[in-house]
A = this chain, B = another copy of it.
Amino acid sequence: MKIATEFSLDEISAVLARTPATLNALLRGLPDRWVLSNEGRGNEGKDTWSAFDIVGHLIVGERTDWMPRVRIILESGEARAFDPFDRFAQSRESQGKSLEQLLDEFASLRAENLAALRALNLRAEDFNRRGRHPALGVVTLSELLATWAVHDLTHLHQLSRVMAHQYRDAVGPWSAYLGVLHCTGHSA
């Protein structure tokens, strides 16, 4: 049973379930300096994302990407390619909202999606079912679910980097010891 040892829905769900509370603990109530783009602060420069943008992007994923793609795989397999993920939709959809509203919205969408995922009662053999990514080609359901979790982690990684960037000068010579200030692994 390769699947049982290499892939576990419980293991993936454990990460997915924790992300909203993690972002909430990290971000809620922080001074704007850390979380909002404003006159060159709060992001990593022109056309980069602030914490506000990142949480908005995670919301768009919950609405349009992860569970819709799970359903496309289960219903159509490789016959229907996934809809592309709009990586810029958050600038429209987050407009006029506070970071606190976005954190609440993300938490409630994630909880709904995890409940919907459990309700599918997926069996071990389902995780090998195949779908078609518009750019990457054939992918499996297990790869999609693992990617959902690692996508959370890639944005937590980005968040810590964007926040650290605000103090890149303030740390003085310690910059040399702080790996986060030298990260080149930007999330795509």
Residues of A within 8 A of B (CB): 6-8, 10-11, 14-15, 18, 21-22, 24-27, 29-31, 33-34, 133, 136-137, 139-140, 142-144, 146-147, 149-151, 153-154, 156-158, 160-161, 163-164, 167, 170-174, 176-188
Given known pairs A146-B167, A150-B164, A185-B185, the reply for A139 and B174 (CB within 8 Å) is: yes
Question: Contact: A156 with B158, CB < 8 Å?
Answer: no
Q: A153 vs B27: C-alpha distance in the bound complex, in angstroms?
A: 12
Number of identical monomers bound together in the oligomeric complex:
2
Quick one: which of B6, B157, B171, B178 contacts A183, CB cutoff 8 A? B157
Q: Can you give 24 A-B contacts (C-beta < 8 A)?
A: A6-B170, A8-B31, A11-B31, A22-B22, A22-B26, A133-B173, A137-B173, A142-B170, A143-B172, A146-B167, A146-B174, A147-B178, A150-B167, A150-B170, A150-B180, A150-B181, A151-B178, A154-B164, A154-B181, A178-B188, A181-B185, A183-B184, A184-B184, A184-B185
Least CB separation from A188: chain B residue? B177
Out of B11, B161, B174, name the residue touching A33 (CB < 8 Å): B11
Decide if A157 touches B154 in the complex (CB within 8 Å).
no
Specify which chain B residues have a CB less than 8 angstroms from the CB of A176 in the assembled complex: 136, 188
